[in-house]
Amino acid sequence: MTQPCNTRHIILRVAVPIRLHRLFDYLAPENSTIDDFKPGIRIRVPFGRSNKVAFLVECVEHSEIDSHKLKAIEAIIDEHPLFSEQDMRLLHWVSRYYHHPLGDVYSTALPALLRQGKAAILPVEERYVLTGQGKAIASEQLKRAPKQKALLEKFQSHASHLSASELSAFDEKWRTAIKPLLEKTLVQAGPPDSNAIQVEPLMRNVALESNLQQQAAIDAVCNRLGQFGVFLLEGVTGSGKTEVYLQIIHTVLQQQQQVLVLVPEITLTPQLEERFRQRFSVAIAVSHSKLTDSQRNAAWLKMQQGACSIMLGTRSALFTPLKNPGLIILDEEHDASFKQQEGCRFYARDVAVVRGKMLAIPVLLGSATPALESLHNVDKGRYQLLHLPQRAGNALQPAFQLLDIRNKKMHEGLSAALIAEIKNTLAKSEQVLLFLNRRGFAPTLICHGCGWVMRCPHCDANMVVHAHEQLLRCHHCGVEGVLLENCPACKARQLMPLGLGTERVEKVLTALFADKAIVRLDRDSTRQKGSLERYLSDINDGKADIILGTQMLAKGHHFSQVTLVAMLDVDSGLFSVDFHAAEKLAQLIIQVAGRAGREMKPGKVILQTRQPEHPLLLTLVQQGYKAFAKTALRERKEAQLPPFSYQALLRAQASDAELAKQFLHTVVDLANRIHNSETGQHTSILGPVPAPMAKRAGLHRYQTLFQSQKRQELHKLLDILLPEIYKINRSHSLSWSLDVDPVDLF
Ligand code: ADP
Ligand code: ZN
Ligand code: ZN
């Protein structure tokens, strides 16, 4: 990418993080040399009335702009590039494929502090080590000081040293607890983090002995190290996928290479991080949105400089530079959270594959319920399927039951049959898990007198009743209102909550099972820091009898004592306008079901439905996810929907509906003209139509869908169209975005 230039003026072509699809030329300072400007460094440039952190893409000899009109840069921020040439190629690919401005893509790839122009220096981390005395002492001797005891045990169970960030992850107030340990010389300050890849001891705990299928999967990937290849590890929950990851990672670490592990929502699965730390003694970097900016910064730099061997992170960690890349893993690859839904709308799963190809390393995707796209890629021979058909150890597959609730008397969402099953399970001292994907008390407040419904003033949605907080809240824009007593329309005192939320089910469970411990897990109940961890450990310690929750429960948890899982309402997922809905519902059902009977006792899964004959449900429970996926792919093919066609969705929103609509009409006119004259004729342009949620947070939303049988043709059209869209004269109150390969059409 570098173009050496020895003319008097060095012209720097930079990407500026703004919403414009072009690069900018600047002059290098007089006394600088070409060696100061390696592509991939950050430079501060004057921009408008202020300045911006920009990224050097290349040095060129000539600019289209007269050199005396070019401005000089303000400062060079980095001596060494932040990105390697391959990483830059990846970012350029992302910019082209998602039609997103390059400068903004560079920004997306950086942690906040580097984005703001902070120096790329890794802070030296304090570390503490166990003394000989600390190794010898029995932690029981500290039983009168539980915090100290816990911390000592942490040191004793892990290799004897822990860094400040590891300690903070363990206990936020670790500094208070460590003081007496230091005074008693059980622990001492150690040499700071060496910032070098640490080779031994690699393993803290030995690996489990893998079964035949696990071994085949491990061998397949390990034989491919150093080359590109995509593997889809399909295995039911509990089949030992994580164990497969850990063993492959071990081989990669032995080769002194780094591993990038992406997961949907790491904060929801603290168990996973713990498992990695238990297994490996090498430094592990963690990155997710709950960490502070400086923690994320340190994690990014440690991977870039090779000081950490494993990065465990969410979607945004995808772009973390790797000094010695060896492997990329995406766990729960079907999860829609791998798609970024604002700014640069990249799909981490797809970009990971592209990155693997550029780096010539394998990419391992794992799931119990692979995305239809991934299964299609297996069919096409692009991905290699690795299959774990059984649960590891002795656990059995759960048995499904479709519970027909038509005409049945319901007790706040619970049928008599389900209540009986719950009782039976509790009588055996086993745990019950109930799933309802709606938090709050009730999704609607309605007047029994006149039918008036409390709507959100800013959204096309009803206000949700939150009984505990005594208020109404919109789940789309967050606006709150008082829980009215009298109907504003007819003045009658007949307002009543309609429908079910987790709070309401919790209330009825408390009444029905007064002597049982009920744990509710949803975004409201876990808002407080540390509360999720506390609930999870209560559940695992057997302190909970009934676990009730939303989506959160579907994510990778391992509840060993749960034997009954029930989904209270699957019907609401069956009738969506979005073609992705069936796939998402099937994945959700299988994922939730996967929490049941993970150890010795067999599990049972009950789905309450008024659609017991629905083909999706029947196929899924009688023949399993793969059969469902096969049918669903056939239907997608017949309807020419993705992955048999390619989509891009252009969204526009404005406080004035007419503005948004008009803007899209202009776009569609432009697109039709280009489509007829410059690209092939295989793209259909649908819309503009109001978005399924036509108004949100006070903004009216419209959208236009581009769909094509030919990916290249779609992108060619977008390539020509996008610069034209930027030229459209539009009001400042209108905003628009392009979503390539959208995962939801809302
Ligand atoms: P998944 O990631 O597919 O849900 P895990 O790797 O978490 O599966 O394994 C599920 C359970 O089975 C864990 O408790 C794990 O320790 C255990 N397990 C995994 N592989 C083996 C094995 N080869 N032998 C015995 N137990 C295993
Ligand atoms: Zn009324
Ligand atoms: Zn709202």
Question: For residue range 511-564, what is the model confidence (pLDDT) as tens digits?
Answer: 999 999 999 999 999 888 788 888 988 988 889 999 999 988 887 777 888 999
Q: How confident is the model at residue 8 (pLDDT cuts 50, 70, 90)?
A: low
| Residues paired with residue 681 on neighbouring β-strands, in sequence order | none
- One domain for residues 111 and 228: no
Tens of pLDDT, residue by residue over 137-194, are 888 888 888 888 888 888 887 666 787 877 887 787 888 888 999 998 888 887 655 5
392 close to ligand 1 (CB < 6 Angstrom): yes
Task: Note whether residue 718 is domain-resident.
Answer: yes
350/243 same-domain check? yes
pLDDT tens for each residue of 327-377: 999 999 999 999 999 999 999 999 999 999 999 999 999 999 999 999 999
Cβ-Cβ contacts under 8 Å for 176 (sequence gap 6 or more): 147
Which stretches of 628-734 are assigned E, i.e. beta strand?
Answer: 646-654, 683-696, 699-708
6/207: higher pLDDT? 207
Residue closest via CA to ligand 1's atom 14 equals 238
Asked whether 240 lines ligand 1 (CB < 6 A), one says yes
Query: Does one domain contain both 598 and 526?
Result: yes
Does the Cβ of 39 fall within 6 Å of ligand 1?
Answer: no
Question: pLDDT band at residue 680, thresholds of 50, 70 and 90?
Answer: low
Residues 6+ apart with CB under 8 A from 555: 264, 265, 268, 269, 332, 591
Residue 521's nearest CA partner among 603, 605, 412, 439 is 439
pLDDT recorded at residue 69: 86
Alpha-carbon distance of 370 to 649, in angstroms, equals 24
Q: Alpha-carbon distance 519 to 731, whole Å?
A: 49
More confident call, 19 vs 507: 507
Q: Check residues 464 and 65 and name the one with the higher pLDDT.
A: 464
pLDDT of amino acid 392:
66
Q: Which of 215, 232, 236, 242 should be mutated for ligand 1, with most atoms under 8 A from CB?
A: 242
In a domain, 636, yes or no: no
How far CA 210 is from CA of 201, 213, 217, 239, 387, in Å, comes to 21, 8, 10, 11, 14
Q: What is the CATH number of the domain that holds 570?
A: 3.40.50.300
Question: Does a structural domain hold residue 559?
Answer: yes
**For atom 9 of ligand 1, which residue has the closest CA?**
240
The domain boundary, picked from 74, 95, 115, lies at: 115
Distances (CA, A) of 222 to 62, 244, 262, 310, 563: 48, 11, 19, 17, 36
Can you give the pLDDT at residue 2? Answer: 47
Domain that holds residue 255: 212-388
The pLDDT value given to residue 196: 45
Q: Which two tokens stand for residue 619?
A: 């196929």
Task: Give the total number of structural domains in the chain.
Answer: 6
Examine the fold and report which residue of 457, 477, 498 is the final residue of a domain before the chain moves on. Answer: 498
Is 489 inside any structural domain? yes
**CB atoms inside a 10 Å sphere around CB 656:** 13
CATH for 687: 3.30.70.600
Average of pLDDT values for 614-632?
A: 93
Check pLDDT > 80 for residue 681: no
pLDDT in tens, 639-656: 999 999 999 999 999 999
Same domain, 76 and 173: no
DSSP secondary structure string, 245-290? Answer: HHHHHHHHHHTT-EEEEE-S-GGG-HHHHHHHHHHB-S-EEEE-TT
CA angle 282, 285, 286 (to 5 degrees): 135
Indicate which ligand has the atom closest to the C-alpha of 234. Answer: 1
Indicate whether 691 belongs to any domain: yes
* Å from CA of 118 to ligand 1 middle: 42
Q: Which ligand is nearest to the CA of 475?
A: 3
Output the pLDDT for position 78. 93
313 and 264 belong to one structural domain: yes
Least confident of 120-129, 230-239, 387-396, 732-741: 387-396
What pLDDT does 132 receive? 84
Band of pLDDT at residue 278, cut at 50, 70 and 90: confident
Instruction: Tell me the CA–centroid distance for residue 283 and ligand 1, in Å.
Output: 23
Q: From CA 264, how far away is CA 334, in angstroms rounded? A: 9
Is the pLDDT assigned to residue 43 strictly greater than 50? yes
Cβ neighbours of residue 282 closer than 8 Å, sequence gap 6 or more: 197, 198, 199, 202, 253, 308, 309, 310
Q: Give the residues across from 549 on adjacent strands.
A: 435, 521
State in Å: Cα 605 to ligand 3 middle.
35
Count of C-beta atoms within a 10 Å radius of residue 196: 10
Query: At 165, which helix (H) or strand (E)?
Result: helix 164-170
In this structure, the answer to whether residues 542 and 660 fall within a common structural domain is no
**Nearest-angstrom CA–CA distance, 669 and 646:** 21
Same domain for 430 and 560, yes or no, is yes
- Cβ-based neighbour number of residue 479 at 10 Å: 15
How does pLDDT run across 695-716, given as a tens digit for each residue? Answer: 999 999 999 999 999 999 999 9
Q: Does ligand 1 come within 6 angstroms of the Cβ of 211? A: yes
For residue 618, pLDDT over 90 is answered with: yes
What are the residues facing 51 on neighbouring strands? Answer: 46
Q: Are residues 578 and 661 in the same domain?
A: no
Quick check: helix, strand or coil at residue 510?
A: helix
> Does 241 contact ligand 1 (Cβ within 6 A)?
yes
Q: Please name the residues in contact with 388: beta carbons below 8 A apart, sequence gap of 6 or more.
A: 213, 214, 217, 233, 234, 235, 236, 239, 240, 241, 244
Mean pLDDT of 56-60: 94
- Coil vs helix vs strand at 468: coil
Average pLDDT over residues 50-57: 95
- Is the pLDDT confidence value at 5 over 60? no
Please say which residue of 115, 147, 175 terminates a domain.
115
Å from CA of 104 to ligand 3 middle: 29
Least confident of 322-326, 404-408, 527-531, 603-607: 527-531
Mean pLDDT of 381-405: 85
Which atom of ligand 1 sits closest to the CA of residue 237? 4
Q: Is 243 in the pocket of ligand 1 (CB under 6 A)?
A: yes
Tell how far the Cα of 694 is from the centroid of ligand 3, in angstroms. Answer: 12
Residues contacting residue 156 through CB under 8 Å, at least 6 positions apart = 130, 134, 135, 139
Instruction: Identify the band that residue 318 occupies on the pLDDT scale cut at 50, 70 and 90.
Output: very high
Q: Angle formed by the axes of helices 615-623 and 581-593, to 10°? A: 40
**Ligand 1, atom 12: closest residue by C-alpha:** 392
Confidence at residue 4, expressed as pLDDT on a 0 to 100 scale: 46
Tens-digit pLDDT profile for residues 284-313:
899 988 888 988 999 999 999 998 999 999
Of the pLDDT bands very low, low, confident and very high (cuts 50, 70, 90), residue 319 is very high
Predicted confidence at residue 31, as pLDDT, reads: 82
Q: How far is the CA of 408 from the centre of ligand 2 (A)?
A: 29
User: Quick check: is 198 in a domain?
Assistant: no
pLDDT at position 258, please? Answer: 96
Residue 17 pLDDT exceeds 90: yes
Residues 232, 154: one domain? no
- 505 and 488 in one domain? no
Q: Is the CB of 556 under 6 A from ligand 1?
A: no
Average pLDDT, the chain: 90
Rounded to whole angstroms, the Cα distance separating 459 from 473 reads 11
Least confident range from 270-284, 411-425, 511-525, 621-635: namely 270-284
Strands, DSSP E only, in 263-417?
Answer: 284-287, 310-313, 325-331, 362-367, 383-388, 399-404, 410-411, 414-415
Distance between Cα 458 and ligand 3 center (Å): 5
- Cβ neighbours of residue 679 under 8 Å, at least 6 residues apart? 713, 716, 717, 720
| Smallest-distance ligand from the CA of 366 | 1
Is pLDDT above 50 for 254?
yes
Ligand minimally distant from the alpha carbon of residue 247: 1
Look up residue 50 and give its two tokens: 């202020």
Q: How confident is the model at residue 419 (pLDDT cuts 50, 70, 90)?
A: very high
Percentage with pLDDT > 70 across the chain: 94
So what's the pLDDT on residue 125? 74
Q: What does the pLDDT read at residue 6?
A: 45
Confidence (pLDDT) at 501 = 95
Q: Is 401 in the pocket of ligand 1 (CB under 6 A)?
A: no
| CA-wise closest residue to 100 among 23, 39, 20, 25 | 20
For residue 268, what pLDDT is reported?
66
**Is the beta carbon of 238 within 6 A of some atom in ligand 1?**
yes
Q: Lay out the sheet containing 75-76: strands in order across.
A: 24-27, 11-15, 50-60, 42-47, 75-76
- What confidence category does residue 7 fall into, taking pLDDT thresholds of 50, 70 and 90? very low
- Is 103's pLDDT higher than 70? yes
Same domain for 313 and 248: yes
Please report which confidence band the pLDDT of residue 135 belongs to, taking 50, 70 and 90 as the band edges. confident
Kindly report the CATH number assigned to the domain that includes residue 107.
3.40.1440.60
Asked if residue 1 is part of any domain, the answer here is no
Dump pLDDT digits (tens) for 446-472: 999 999 999 999 999 999 999 999 999
| Residue 19 and residue 43 in one domain | yes
For residue 745, being part of any structural domain is answered with no
